[in-house]
Structure 1
Amino acid sequence: MFKIYQHTENNKEYIVLESKNKQAYASICLDEGARVKDLVLNGKSIIKEQSNFDYEDSYASSILFPFVSRLKEGSYSFNYDSYELHKNDKGINALHGLVYNKKFELFEPEEYQHKCSATFNYYEQKPPKGYPFKYFLSITYTLFKDDFQIAITVKNIDSKSFPFTLGWHPYFNCNDFSKAYLHFKSSKKIVFDNNLITEAIEDFIIDKKFSLESKQLDDCFILNEQGVDFITSEYHLKLTSDALENYLQLYTPKNKPIIAIEPMTGISDSFNNKIGLQVLEPNKTYAVNFRIEMIQ
């Protein structure tokens, strides 16, 4: 039987989803945008909080909305109006959206014999001047023994349309990069400037194993297929998204046994370059599903 319970740690509230034997486990922080703090599948630690890597700097497992990655100088135009957001990226750009530090509410936890799920909701009723749109964001996490699913729904509860992209920023454990690799298919790579703002798109063919040995990554690719395989000496994961357009951001922090493998519906500075950008009309809803599957 799977179960769900709540606990407090360092003055923050967490919701825990776990199996009876703890071979599957997920800890969700309500105070930090309903992010996944820890994840265990089939007895393997997949996501784990890192020492000396504070959430304020890492944005580990944050949901990225209403924009992914960076927004150049925090500025953009939409429907002939100009807006400016807080530049939380060293005072240069806006970074990783607006919900990573919001307080979410638990809704409808469900416990079953072979799985459990919990939904986390956030209503934006007092939006900032730089993004003056009201929205409802709902995240449902479903935990199985060897499978973790994330269903994200965005609803426009405003009287006007708004632009958006959406993504997820997990870091996956990797104790030995010399034996780790990714497998995904792409023919296009994003070219960044010195501040990691999109400059261009170049041809870059990947259709075989992408070795992670000795690589320092902060790169983005346009995926030709929805799936990304991550193979380490400890486990093999498949990460998928059902979005119509799929982009993959890879990032390896220095001297950390982790790698960010980020599924996204847009890229850096999408509000300006329009790549992957979508517009949600009043009372309309957008949904995307991410999945992590342990491959035996």
Structure 2
Amino acid sequence: MFALTQHSDRIILSDDAQQYQAEIFPFGALLNRFAIKKPDQNWHNVIAAFQSPEDARANITQLFRSAKLSPFVCRLANAQYEFSGRHYQTHKHKIGDSAIHGLIYDAEFTVQHTHADAQHASLTLSHTYQHDISGYPFDYQINITYTLREHGALHLHTEVHNIGDQTLPIADGWHPYFAVDGNMANWQLHIRSHEQLEFSPALLPTGKRIADATFSQATPIAQTELDNCFVLTEDFSAPAVVLQGEHIQLRITPDAAYPYVQVYTPPQRDCIALENLSSAPDAFNNHIGLIELAAGEKCSFNTLYQLEYL
């Protein structure tokens, strides 16, 4: 049997063979642990984790580790946008001139559903945003379901429901940092992409694409510095990203609702952010991938993280 253990500040999913574990905080619906048991029986957590939910609350805005990106992803130029003929400005959190990483990365989620049986363990967390923050006067409910299945497969399902009475702009994404085993310079990175979005110096899309096949086959990260948005090819049956360490391999396989992957190497170079995105950064302004969700409508996004010890 798979197992689900619920504590006041975290929920742990485990497989029936006790080879994989996922730990999720209701704070931010953060994935804080996705671990594989090595042959020596020690665990390796591939998530760059917080020490505790309290640590996450205090430090979420430092690197936005594991943050849910909603209702916009990455940067919002000048923290403002126009929608349906009206001008909006938000003041939630800025880096330089841009608002960054959405509005609910520090929201408290509630447990809506739990389940464990012989095939999987799953958890659904929910948050209702009701025009809480200046610059986004819309109402929506977001449900996030984590499901741990056999062979180290962790499925992340996000559903957004417009519960207001007007159309709203929405984009969705994740901001996890991963660390497989061995030296990061030797990690092999493969991205199912042949081009990326051109960025301005402010890391905002210019509207152009650049041919880039650097990681179209497995390539050592070495000393490469990345803060780039890759456009995925259309074969969503294949992994979008494969990250290979000394022995541990991570595969990320989104559905077509996530056609972009933002890749970021932080200065400490001990992990790498691999971010499924439904839109380009600054989509509220450039409209690249922006969803306009009518009152009462729902949309969903799926991605799969899979671990293997080779």
- State how far apart, in whole Å, the 2-side matches of 1:245 and 1:90 are: 24
Alignment check: 8 A CA contact 1:159 1:282 kept: yes
Q: Deviations over 1:227-285 (max 9, x none)?
A: 22111113122201112450110011112411001111112111101111111011111
- State how far apart, in whole Å, the 1-side matches of 2:257 and 2:114 are: 29
Residue 41 of structure 2 corresponds to none
What is the 5 A alignment of 1:63-74? 63-74=68-79
Residue 142 of structure 1 corresponds to 147
Alignment check: 8 A CA contact 2:197 2:209 kept: yes
SS at match of 2:61: helix
Query: What is the CA distance between 1:18 and its match in structure 2?
Result: 1.9
What is the 5 A alignment of 1:81-160? 81-86=86-91, 88-90=93-95, 92-145=97-150, 146-160=152-166
- State how far apart, in whole Å, the 1-side matches of 2:302 and 2:258 are: 13
Residue 47 of structure 2 corresponds to 47
2:218 maps to amino acid: K
Q: Deviations over 1:40-77 (max 9, x none)?
A: 14554221416799322111111111111000111000
RMSD value over aligned CA atoms?
2.1
Aligned-residue sequence identity (percent) comes to 30
1:217 maps to amino acid: L
- State how far apart, in whole Å, the 2-side matches of 1:205 and 1:219 are: 11
Query: What is the CA distance between 1:181 and its match in structure 2?
Result: 1.7
Query: What is the CA distance between 1:91 and its match in structure 2?
Result: 5.4
SS at match of 1:178: helix
SS at match of 2:147: strand
Does the alignment pair 1:204 with 2:214? no
Query: What is the CA distance between 1:21 and its match in structure 2?
Result: 5.5
Superposition misfits of 4+ residues, deviation over 6 angstroms: none
Gaps of 5+ in 1: none
Q: Deviations over 1:111-155 (max 9, x none)?
A: 112420010011112432311110010000001241100011001
Q: 1:171 to 1:156 in 2, by over 3 A?
A: same
Q: 1:215 to 1:205 in 2, by over 3 A?
A: closer
What is the 5 A alignment of 1:179-194? 179-194=186-201
Does the alignment pair 1:173 with 2:179? yes
Residue 262 of structure 2 corresponds to 249
Does the alignment pair 1:292 with 2:292? no
- Report the TM-score when normalising by structure 2: 0.87
Query: What is the CA distance between 1:87 and its match in structure 2?
Result: 5.1
Q: 1:187 to 1:81 in 2, by over 3 A?
A: same
Residue 14 of structure 1 corresponds to 10
Does the alignment pair 1:216 with 2:225? yes
Q: Which moved more, 1:253-262 or 1:185-194?
A: 185-194
2:177 maps to amino acid: Y
Alignment check: 8 A CA contact 1:267 1:275 kept: yes
Q: Which moved more, 1:98-107 or 1:169-178?
A: 169-178
1:263 maps to amino acid: N
Alignment check: 8 A CA contact 2:32 2:50 kept: no
Alignment check: 8 A CA contact 2:130 2:137 kept: no
Q: Deviations over 1:152-177 (max 9, x none)?
A: 10010010001111111111114412
- Report the TM-score when normalising by structure 1: 0.91
2:87 maps to amino acid: S
Alignment check: 8 A CA contact 2:60 2:106 kept: no
Q: 1:137 to 1:74 in 2, by over 3 A?
A: same
The structure 2 residue matched to 1:34, chosen from 26, 29, 35, is 29
Q: 1:42 to 1:150 in 2, by over 3 A?
A: farther
